Amino acid sequence: MNSVLGEILAAKRRRLAAGEFAPRGRAALPSDGRRFAAALGSGTGPAVIAEVKHRSPSAGVLLPDAARRVEDLARAYRRGGAAAISVVVEQDHFGGDPAWLPRVKAASGLPVLMKDFVVDEVQLDFALSLGADAVLLIVAALTDAELGRLHAAARRRGLAVVVESHDADEVRRALGVSAEIVGVNARDLRSFEVDLGAAGVLGRSIPDGVLRLAESGVKTAAGAGRLWRLWRRGVAELGTAGGSWV
């Protein structure tokens, strides 16, 4: 496993061992995975998952003073027509904070995805306690057995699941657990390099009936339009600095 992804996962497991992801009681706004999926698949054109991300290992700081700005950004995303909001909560490499998620959900009224590196079921209960409507499972970070177990566990809890892939084998693995939402990340989390063309081709291999989500690399409306025409259907995700699209 590449050192960057490996370092992220090692840091996550250290936090898990320290008990940092114990559920925080009952969420003020309960999770609703069906609402998240419906928000992405209800229109005839692309839907946007806007993103709250403080920083990234590849781009540095994207949202200065994020802790004070998350409500304003959430309301702006709603005014801009976002279908849902992704909140990057990973602390060590992305500078996120799980406490931002319920704040974003309350301020926007939109369904919210907890974007983290999920490797243990306790994180699913943690997501529920925050009021997350969906979670992210990254194929590159999990074995087939882990992916299947965590996907099934999330669905039993009523969470929607975005299963993120980067290449044809990872798409196959995602479909192997009956994923209903498959993300194609143009950024390889092993090297952090972006190949939007490969992602565009790969998205076409995802069968009808599965929501297609493009992640990373799309920075303009024209780029989003090109992917939309290629894929013919799907969901778009645009982050705080460029981002991604389906």
Considering the domain 3-21+35-238, what is its CATH architecture? Alpha-Beta Barrel (3.20)
Where do the domains of the chain lie? 3-21+35-238
Return the sign of the alpha-carbon dihedral for residues 31, 32, 35, 37.
positive
Question: Is 22 buried (19+), middle (13-18) or exposed (0-12) by CB count in 10 A?
Answer: exposed
Q: pLDDT digits over 4-47, tens only?
A: 899 999 999 999 999 999 998 999 999 999 999 999 987 667 78
Residue 47 tokens, joined: 């839907």
Residues annotated as catalytic (active site), given as ranges? 51, 53, 115, 164, 185, 215-216
Average pLDDT over residues 67-90: 97
pLDDT tens for each residue of 154-174: 999 999 999 999 899 999 999
> If pLDDT is split at 50, 70 and 90, which confidence band does 227 have?
confident
Q: Could you report the per-residue pLDDT of 113-134, keeping only the tens digit for each?
A: 999 999 999 999 999 999 999 9
